[in-house]
Structure 1
Amino acid sequence: MKNFALIGAAGYIAPRHMKAIKETGNNLSVAYDINDSVGIIDSISPDSEFFTDFEHFYEYAWQLGRKPETKLDYVSICTPNYMHASQIAAGLRLGCDVICEKPLVPTSADLDELALVEKETGKKVYNILQLRHHQAILDLKQKVASSSKSDKHEVELTYITSRGKWYMESWKGDPRKSFGVATNIGVHFFDMLHFIFGKLEKNILHFADDMKACGYLEYEKARVPWFLSIDANDLPESVVGKQTTFRTITCDGDELEFSGGFTDLHTVSYQDILAGRGYGIEDARHCVETVEAIREQAAQAATDTEAHPMLAKLVRG
């Protein structure tokens, strides 16, 4: 049994980590969050210690390390994006391996810094890239790998996940903390595209504002116009009033259906990490560099072959 600490216990994604720790037969020793709305712990790990200030949490975690039976083995991080780099480093310096939600960090320079801390501490960082474990995506990866197609695959990505007014008032609506829509809701899709279609060769931004972004990515094996939005007004009429999220990826005209099958992917990710097969800094580098380049470039006009169908609506608006 391994001992875990959890940073960001009151967040949306934290229960999936708590569940994964429990389902892999391990122990959540201590949790931390500045907010105390963490009642979910009672149904998963009621004996865990809990702190609302980082200094007391860190000191307690350090003291646990004095005894082999209580020493922490892993620190899991589920906090806002801008906190990841410093908290990962803190976890490594506690003598723990670290498991962190995506985006791992905002920049490639942060990845380089964490790689140095890994060397200094002898510990390792793992990124949750759960779409790499989804069966539909694994099947498509295999199909692409075995394809005799000489031309690149024609892929289109559309993801609209409606968010209320609270979103812009939260850290997610602050680009200094979330790093914008393309990073916050797009990074795992960009990782998935790289996982399936290979190295990125072209990255062009066509539109970006606080609520949506649109662009074009070209990989070794695919051309991909993409559109991401948190604006309910972008939902197609066919789903308005029925659902608040619309997600579709097509490959050569065939839709990739992966709406289901997400429930246990964090547990599968933990199983791989515990078995020494998790995804580390270099695995995350490609998607970090992709969103970093999107943030740093100015939007430019699209050619007909590179434009996502939603772009025309954005330009008219």
Structure 2
Amino acid sequence: MKRFALIGAAGYIAPRHLKAIKDTGNELEVAMDINDSVGIMDSHFPNAEFFTEFEDFAAYVEDQALKGKKLDYVSICTPNYLHAPQMKFALKHGIDVICEKPLVLSSDEIDTLHQYEEKYGSKVNSILQLRLHPSIIALKEKVENSPEDKVFDVELTYMTSRGKWYLKSWKGFDHKSGGVATNIGVHFYDMLHYIFGDVLGNEVHYRDEKTSAGYLEFKKARVKWFLSIDENNLPENAVQGEKKTYRSIDIEGEQLEFSGGFTDLHTKSYQRILDGKGYGLEDNRTAITTVEKIRKQPIVNNPNNFHPLVNKLFK
């Protein structure tokens, strides 16, 4: 049984980590979040310690280590800009990390974390659960078995409407979230790289605080992509429910269907990590470099590579 800490226990994704820790037969010793709406913990680890100040959390972790009760893992589910410093804290204390995506906001931070791993002997593991999804695995096999010169034409469209709160939260500030492409898209870029190989080209055709669109060329694919949190961009057939959403990955006229199958992917990710097969720093580099360029590089006007929805933005 491994001993875990969880930072970001009140967040949206935290319940999946709590479930994964429990389902893999391990124990949550302590959790931390600046918000105290963490009643979900009672369903999994009601006896875990809990702190709302990072300093108190850090002191507890250090005191327990002095008593011979050092943690094995720190799981991180906090806002994107906090990932790197919190990973450094864990690594400095000889504790392995399990971190949500995006792992970091820049490739330089990956280089720095490598130095921490080497100096302190601890390891960073990341949650890249789409790589474990059956539909993604099947598509990867199809691409690998295609003719060597085959290049697939792909359209990625993902829209998830968000209210006015979004831009006033940490998610609305590029230096904290990485912007729309990073915050809602980084797992798609990792998935595309995982399936279609190295990135050969990266264009950005549109970018504002709510929407980003562009073109990526991979070894085995040409991808026109469009990401948005603006409900004005939603098609009429967007899902009606808790919030309006639309997701489509079209591969030469065929839809990649992966709406289901997510229930246990965090648990599978944890089991791989516990088995020594986790995705580490370098597994994240291509996706992080991709979104970093999308955030910083100049907009280009190349209608030949436009996603079909881009023209609508200029009307």
TM-score normalised by L of structure 1 = 0.97
- Listed as ranges, the gaps of 5+ residues in structure 2 are none
Q: How does 1:118-133 map to 2 (within 5 A)?
A: 118-133=117-132
Distance 1:149 1:115 in 2: 34
Deviation at 1:149, TM superposition (A): 6.1
One-letter amino acid of the counterpart of residue 237, structure 1: E
- Residues 234-243 or 31-40, more deviating: 234-243
Distance 1:4 1:162 in 2: 34
Deviations 1:129-149, CA, capped at 9 Å, x for gaps:
010000000000000000126
- Residues 86-95 or 217-226, more deviating: 86-95
1:250 counterpart SS class: strand
Distance 1:88 1:159 in 2: 29
Deviations 1:69-106, CA, capped at 9 Å, x for gaps:
x3200000001001111000001112110010011011
- Residues 13-22 or 237-246, more deviating: 237-246
Deviations 1:121-172, CA, capped at 9 Å, x for gaps:
1000011101000000000000000012633100110000111121112111
- Listed as ranges, the gaps of 5+ residues in structure 1 are none
Does residue 1:292 correspond to 2:292, yes or no? yes
One-letter amino acid of the counterpart of residue 189, structure 1: F
TM-score normalised by L of structure 2 = 0.97
Distance 2:55 2:150 in 1: 56
**Map of 1:222 onto structure 2:** 221
Q: How does 1:54-203 map to 2 (within 5 A)?
A: 54-68=54-68, 70-148=69-147, 150-203=149-202
Distance 1:261 1:151 in 2: 29
Deviations 1:208-262, CA, capped at 9 Å, x for gaps:
0000100000000000000000111111112364661111101121110011111
1:40 counterpart SS class: helix
Q: How does 1:207-246 map to 2 (within 5 A)?
A: 207-239=206-238, 241=240, 244-246=244-246
One-letter amino acid of the counterpart of residue 278, structure 1: G
Distance 1:81 1:136 in 2: 27
Distance 2:297 2:165 in 1: 28
Deviation at 1:311, TM superposition (A): 0.5
1:151 counterpart SS class: coil
Distance 1:125 1:111 in 2: 10
